Amino acid sequence: MIEWIIGAALLAGGLFGTGKTKRPDTSPASGPRQDFPAKVTEWRSLWEPTIDRSRWIPKSMASRIVARFPPPQRSFPWFGGDRFEQELLAEFAAHNVAYLAQQKERLKPFFDTVERNPLTDDQMDGCICMDDAVQIVAAAGSGKTSTMVARVGYAIHEGLVKPDQILVLAFNRAVAEELQSRIDARLAGLDGVDAVTVKTFNAFGLSVIGKATGRKPSLAEWAEPGRDGAMIVEIIDDLRSSDDKFRHDWDLFRTVFGRDIGSWNEPAQANAYRDGQRGILTANGDIVKSEEERMIADWLFYHGVRYEYERPYEHDTATEHHRQYRPDFFYPEIDLYHEHFALDEKGQAPAHFGGDYLSGVHWKRGLHAEKDTRLFETTSHEIRSAGSFARLAEELKRSGIVLQYDPDRQTKGQRPVTTEQLAATIRIFQQHVKSNGLSRQQLREAAAQNAQSHADRLTRFLALFERIANEWERRLREVDCIDFDDMLLMAIDHIENGRFSSPYMMLLADEFQDTSRAKVRLLKALLKSAGEEAHLCVVGDDWQGINRFAGADISVMTEFEKVFDHSTRLMLNTTFRCPAQLCEASSAFVQANPRQIKKTVETTNPYAKRALHAFAAETQALALARLEQDLQSMYDFARDGRLNADGGDRISVMMLGRYHNDEPPGWRRWKRRFGDLLSIEYRTVHSSKGLEADYVMLVNVVQGMMGFPSQITDDPVLQIAMPEPDSYPLAEERRLFYVALTRARRQVRIYTQTDSPSRFLSELARTGAVEIEADGGTLSPCPKCGAGTMRRYDGQYGPFEACSTHPRCDFKRNLSAESSGVSTPSHRVRITHPISAGDSCPTCGDGLMVVRSGGAYQPFLACSGYPSCKTTAALDGGTEGGAIQKQTSRG
């Protein structure tokens, strides 16, 4: 139901209400006070003729009345125009409540037949509400296109606007064609419906320029989506050939700085595992503990510096309680040790490192001083600041090392970011810069203000971007063309400056979550041009905002009510697609990001079987073999009549991957083999948006650079070009995973690998949404970090389990106690994911999490089985740095 009209009765009995009659005031001031109701009545008589109470009264009407017809004044300072406006809003809201119910009843035949299925109550709200700016937040599979078509039909049917006064804008050509087709088919009986304008934003912008100037501009063919990336690559190649400095700066960025190193105060995400070690893979093939160490190692590798990572210190330091000291880097040619300390500008370590880290720093410094061994230090603050490697380069040169930078050096491990990948980021960044009208100075200021950022990387990126963007603009001028971003900005300028007068009184925009700031400016300009009676309705789902690579800005969806005055948000909460289990699991998953709009999705799908499955295999080949086995089982069931298609003659199966490269090699063979009963296709998740199938198979859902979530997308550098950055980790990848989960009408099956399950899959397992089936049992989520899964190992002192994300998460537990049904941790455990008092202890499974406190320590949660189980957590989902760290240090 519409949010703002719920409070219609709150001001009943107020200024215009029917409150109880009061005794006449016989005080000296009674005369003026008794005259006030008469003044209000007279004031109402002035504006009442301007109100059409046979229609919806938009929110802005209250402020318009107060502005045009100044209300009578009263001597109270708190009683002014604002109070009158509030009273009018309440009065009009009450009118709209009654009008809404009346229209639903009167037009039931229309709403039942305008689309193939009768409209839901929420969909009818979306048709009838004619506030100034209406935002319809539509859950996946909730019939948003039906609502848009019905809204157009309702407006024409009721004579609210003429057909040629309706403009429908779509994100791309395919969506525009679908909307046009649906309008033509479903509204064919309405006079003049063929005059409704349906265009893409780009096509409409081009038409505006043509009408305003009498001459349509030429669009550069190489700037079109799908071809623009190739032009960026060509520009880069040309600049590398003609400018030695650019070539060096580009190659250095691509090989060393191309991958973001994350925030200083957040744990690194491992992307490699070898010989019992999990961490970050370097170009030299080493596995290091942090992205900062990876960047240092890559800088050394590409400069030809020989180093050894964590070689045992030349003096024996092992004791009963401590293992042998292994400095981060050792340069054997000059006998120099190099320690990289995770310290900020104040010399403090990240909270998640624990209280012993600083004492370790002091111990290492003291040890080198005692043993008279050469030590070179870098810190996180230094390595993230401008000129980060200058001091290291100077020290190596002074010691006799010759630096020879070679960007083409053959790697033994992780390959550098490719020119194509980096060019794609440049192009996305350029689109956001143009869309938001940002100057170079504004970009530099945004980079400088970016807290916890890698300042050196941002500075280097901006310098490269400016050179490439300048050449892009030069080439446009050379052929007298513009690009799509210029086209929108030019169209906006013509509308804002009156060279184009909008005839459109009703605007509709689809896929609003994929809209850029420039497109929002276009909509606002059209509303202003058409006058105060114009209406806007946008439809979209911020949970499905997955097109930032095309310049989309999700904040225009989440901040809609701040961007458009007198706005109303409606919800389409009922999906016709996904079964209940998928609705619950996917909704909880995507709403882990607090910036997403909250909604509760219900479903009409009666499917009652388990709708979410996950399977883990030792290798990708075995995972695909399991997928083929599942297809065979489905085929056999369909052949035997135990599995039927809901519509059509075949059961639809959609295989989805994060990348084109995830396409199973044998899927076309499966398509031929099972094709008489199963309709099988492969798509990337991006291309699946808007589609659905009976069964969805998600392949290669693993953790890694090319996994899901991808670790090469969502580059944080894009944030400095966006007015409302989304700092939640992997925000767009999370929304993309939500899209994948919501394509199925029956089941989603997820295929992963036992040694590298996706952190998203581990999260689903931790929340109980799915069990990850593996040979011999199930993979259990790590009770400490919640991102990894527990793996069994055979150690010196017997079998034990450890988190798959080690060393990022150091949780492990012995298995020797399993005969008694209890697994206890081998050390203290701090739970980082939300947990509440009374929950079962996720470590031992026997105790409950209870509130504890003592002395000067803040209250915290601890397992009731202490001291046999030493699990703690922050109280009430707070940060764990204070209370938990203090408790841990108590010994």
338 CB neighbour count, 10 Å cutoff: 20
The residues with which 228 forms a beta bridge, in sequence order, are none
- Quote the pLDDT of residue 1: 45
Position 735 scores a pLDDT of 94
Q: Tens digit of pLDDT for each residue in 331-381?
A: 999 999 999 999 999 999 988 787 788 999 999 999 999 999 999 999 999
What's residue 853's pLDDT? 66
Q: Between these two residues, 834 and 121, which has the higher pLDDT value?
A: 121
Burial class from Cβ neighbours inside 10 Å (0-12, 13-18, 19+) for residue 665 reads: exposed
Quick one: 559 exposed, middle or buried, by C-beta within 10 A (0-12, 13-18, 19+)? middle
CB contact at 8 A, 51 and 62: no
Q: ∠ CA 838-842-848 to the nearest 5 degrees?
A: 30
Q: Quick check: 245 pLDDT over 60?
A: yes
pLDDT, position 277: 76
Higher pLDDT, 561 or 555: 561
- Residue 891 predicted with pLDDT over 90: no
51-91 pLDDT, tens per residue?
Answer: 999 999 999 999 999 999 998 876 555 455 588 889 999 99
* Backbone phi, psi, residue 645, to 5°: -85, 140
How confident is the model at residue 890, as a pLDDT?
27
22-31, 114-123, 851-860 — which is least confidently predicted?
Answer: 22-31
Tokens of residue 752, six digits? 């992963």
pLDDT at 807: 61
The pLDDT value given to residue 191: 93
Q: Is the pLDDT of residue 881 over 60?
A: no
- Asked whether residue 535 carries a pLDDT value surpassing 50, the answer given is yes
Mean pLDDT over residues 183-207, rounded? 94
Question: What pLDDT sits at residue 77?
Answer: 53
874 in Cβ contact with 861 (< 8 Å): yes
Residue range 850-859: mean pLDDT, rounded: 64
167: which residues sit within 8 A by CB, 6+ positions away?
A: 197, 199, 204, 504, 506, 507, 508, 526
Q: Residue written as tokens 């203090």?
A: 886
3-state secondary structure 26-81: CCCCHHHHHHHHHHHHHHHHHHHHHCCCCCCCCCHHHHHHHHHCCCCCCCCCCCCH
> What are the pLDDT digits (tens) for 690-701?
899 999 999 999
Q: What pLDDT does residue 381 have?
A: 92
How many beta carbons lie within 10 A of that of residue 79, not counting itself? Answer: 14
What are 578-610's pLDDT values in tens digits? Answer: 999 999 999 999 999 999 999 999 999 999 999
pLDDT in tens, 383-416: 998 878 999 999 999 999 999 999 999 999 999 9
Distances (CA, A) of 609 to 70, 580, 606, 629, 702: 63, 10, 9, 20, 26
Q: What pLDDT shows up at residue 724?
A: 66
How would you class 770 by CB atoms within 10 Å of its CB: exposed for 0-12, middle for 13-18, buried for 19 or more?
buried
**Of the listed ranges 14-18, 21-25, 439-443, 535-539, the one predicted with least confidence:** 21-25
Alpha-carbon span 416 to 297, nearest angstrom: 13
The confidence score (pLDDT) of residue 796 equals 63
Residue from 196, 382, 230 nearest 296 by CA = 382
Give percent of the chain with pLDDT exceeding 70: 88
Would you say residue 22 has pLDDT above 90? no
The per-residue pLDDT for range 742-755, each reduced to its tens digit, is 999 999 999 999 88
In this structure, the strands spanning 693-698 and 651-657 are parallel
For a pLDDT cut of 90, what percent of the chain falls above it? Answer: 63
Q: State the average pLDDT for the chain.
A: 86
User: For residues 517 and 496, what is the distance between their CA atoms, to the nearest angstrom?
Assistant: 15
